[in-house]
A = this chain, B = another copy of it.
């Protein structure tokens, strides 16, 4: 138990602790690593926090995101859902199949364009919206963030995501 305090970048070490590394690149690199690890951890923490709330509804967290997209706009195509959620058909196809087996949505080939599949909420799918009302509230409480904090954090993360995705294409 002697080497617990070693300044490992992924723990809560302070940004300015750069043991023996003096060039700027390595220092910033350490910070960015900490950032990506913080996001990694926060994302998992969110999923874990949602899990017990969604379990009574019979939904996983990604399924909940899909249902929210459909509650906002019913009858979307798989492609549109994928664009909005950042998921491809390899993820959505089996997920939607499970939602269909749960009786929450219906999948139907579009008559006008047979390539597309339209996802429609069943009455049970619509009804689930009310039953899920408490979920957002509970999560909001668990975050313990002010509205300003949430807004700023969200904006920063969206900007970060856009820059990361923009960098790929160059």
Binding site for B on A (CB under 8 A): 3, 6-12, 15, 25-26, 28-46, 48-50, 52, 65, 68-69, 72-73, 84-86, 135-137, 139-145, 147, 149-151, 153-154, 156-158, 160-161, 163-165, 167-168
Residue of B nearest to A71 (CB): B8
List chain B residues, Cβ under 8 A from A49. 164-165, 167-168
- Specify the main secondary structure of chain A where it touches its partner: helix
* 3 A-B pairs closest in CB distance: A29-B136, A43-B43, A8-B72
Work out how many copies of this chain go into the complex. Answer: 2
* CB atoms of B151 and A15 under 8 A apart: yes
List chain B residues, Cβ under 8 A from A149. 156
Most buried by B among A37, A48, A84: A37
CA distance A84 to B12 in the complex (A): 10
* CB atoms of B145 and A72 under 8 A apart: no
Known: A28-B150, A38-B161, A41-B161. 17 other contacts (CB 8 A): A7-B72, A8-B73, A10-B68, A25-B140, A26-B136, A26-B137, A28-B137, A29-B135, A34-B150, A35-B157, A42-B157, A42-B158, A42-B160, A42-B164, A44-B86, A141-B167, A153-B156
